[in-house]
Structure 1
Amino acid sequence: MDKEYLFALHDHIDGERIYLRHVLLKDAEDMHEYAKDEETTKFVFDRHESLEDTRKNIAKYFLSSPLGKYAIVLKETEKMIGTIDFRIEETHKKAELGYTVNKDYWGKGYATEAGKMLIQLGFEVFGLQRIFAFHDVRNPASGKVMEKMGLTYEGHYRTNRFVKGEFVDDKCYSIIKEDYFSE
């Protein structure tokens, strides 16, 4: 698997209501809209204090190594409403999904649609064996999104991550190749 080449070939992925593309500096205002909100960022990253913070975050995290990191963009309005990451570990043929969506767009199925697009890419293009995702146990809504993506609950990981100055417990969900192709 040539991960970088395959990501480069799939830098724009069309869905039904959204498309995925690289995050760009021009997305700063749309990203800041949700990155400044404590409710949206509570379980994932530190809230951005200013638009400049958001621009710096885009440059440091998304532009410095863009492969596998996508903006979630509404087709109808061209508004960037969130991001989704697809972190592939080639040796073990597995990938981790991670996402953040503007709270104004929660409950509309956009994260589910984006996740399903990357799950399809992972199994059908990258030839992965396993795709998984974690969510903070205090955020059960994210677990429901993972189930809608087709992932199955695997277990509870105690003090799995250090986020915002504290260790947090996570729940893990996954889907394996055999389950994906049997659907």
Structure 2
Amino acid sequence: MLKPDFPLRTERLILRPFTDGDLEALHAFHRLPEVTRYLYWEPRDRAQTRAALKEKATRTTLTDDNHILSLAVERRDTGELIGDCMLHHLSREHAQGEIGFVFHPAHHGHGYATEAGRELLRLGFDELGLHRIIGRCDARNTASAAVLARLGMRREAHLRENEFFKGQWSDELIYAMLHREWTATR
């Protein structure tokens, strides 16, 4: 079981549970077509964002397989919510997890996704005791692939046209890291 001691602090970020007060900031980027281009959902209207936020706000603990920890990412210097990230506990038996992240485009290119991703890896490996963590992205999403590589995750697969996604066949990249690789980078 993992119940983090919130808020989690990195050099420039605070990762914390979502609250009702995050609606406007979350909607500011969940509504953008360029943000949802490679995600499983379309741009959200305010009601859809509110429903997503309500679900995210309940995801504060990992207690079993298939549970998801959803975290709001804010800048420490401004308190502004700039991203949305998650740690998915895929399997207790096999000690597997997955990380994911979505950031407001105004904050791309500053290393925030990498910094948040590193904290997700720390949570998964050091606190949850996972053996292996993956990150997946659409092969066209070169920015997300670059973040996963910067985290030290190795590209394990390029799945060709494995999903019919938003009206067309798309490729998926799978990156992974083992606990011993994480330990070696510390």
Partners in 2 of 1:167 and 1:25 — Cα distance?
A: 36
Partner in structure 1 of residue 77 of structure 2: 76
Which amino acid in 1 is paired with 2:124?
G
Structure 1 residues 126 and 37 mapped into 2: Cα distance closer, same or farther (>3 Å)? same
Residue 116 of structure 1: how far off its partner (Å): 0.3
Residue 147 of structure 1: how far off its partner (Å): 0.9
Partner in structure 2 of residue 12 of structure 1: 7
Partners in 2 of 1:175 and 1:160 — Cα distance?
A: 22
Residue 31 of structure 1: how far off its partner (Å): 0.8
Unaligned 5+ residue runs, structure 2? 62-68
Matches within 5 A, 1:140-155: 140-155=142-157
Which amino acid in 2 is paired with 1:123?
F
Q: Over residues 50-76 of structure 1, what are the superposed CA-to-partner deviations in whole Å (9 max), with x where a residue is unaligned?
A: x232112211x3134343110111111
Structure 1 residues 22 and 140 mapped into 2: Cα distance closer, same or farther (>3 Å)? same
Partners in 1 of 2:88 and 2:164 — Cα distance?
A: 18
Matches within 5 A, 1:81-96: 81-88=82-89, 89-96=91-98
Residue 162 of structure 1: how far off its partner (Å): 5.2
Partner in structure 1 of residue 120 of structure 2: 118
Unaligned 5+ residue runs, structure 1? none
Partner in structure 2 of residue 65 of structure 1: 59
Cα RMSD after superposing both structures: 1.6
Structure 1 residues 94 and 75 mapped into 2: Cα distance closer, same or farther (>3 Å)? same
Q: TM-score, normalised by structure 2?
A: 0.87
Structure 1 residues 109 and 124 mapped into 2: Cα distance closer, same or farther (>3 Å)? same
Partners in 1 of 2:180 and 2:121 — Cα distance?
A: 13
Of 136, 139, 151, 1:137 maps to 139
Which amino acid in 2 is paired with 1:74?
R
Partner in structure 2 of residue 47 of structure 1: 43
Which amino acid in 2 is paired with 1:171?
L
Structure 1 residues 181 and 158 mapped into 2: Cα distance closer, same or farther (>3 Å)? same
Confirm or deny: 8 A CA contact 2:139 2:171 kept in the other structure: yes
Which amino acid in 2 is paired with 1:84?
C
Q: TM-score, normalised by structure 1?
A: 0.89
Of 10, 21, 25, 1:26 maps to 21
Partners in 2 of 1:28 and 1:115 — Cα distance?
A: 22
Partners in 1 of 2:101 and 2:43 — Cα distance?
A: 15
Structure 1 residues 58 and 155 mapped into 2: Cα distance closer, same or farther (>3 Å)? same
Of 158, 175, 184, 1:156 maps to 158
Residue 11 of structure 1: how far off its partner (Å): 3.7
Residue 10 of structure 1: how far off its partner (Å): 3.3
Q: Over residues 104-151 of structure 1, what are the superposed CA-to-partner deviations in whole Å (9 max), with x where a residue is unaligned?
A: 000110010001011112111111111110010111111101111111
Higher helix share: 1
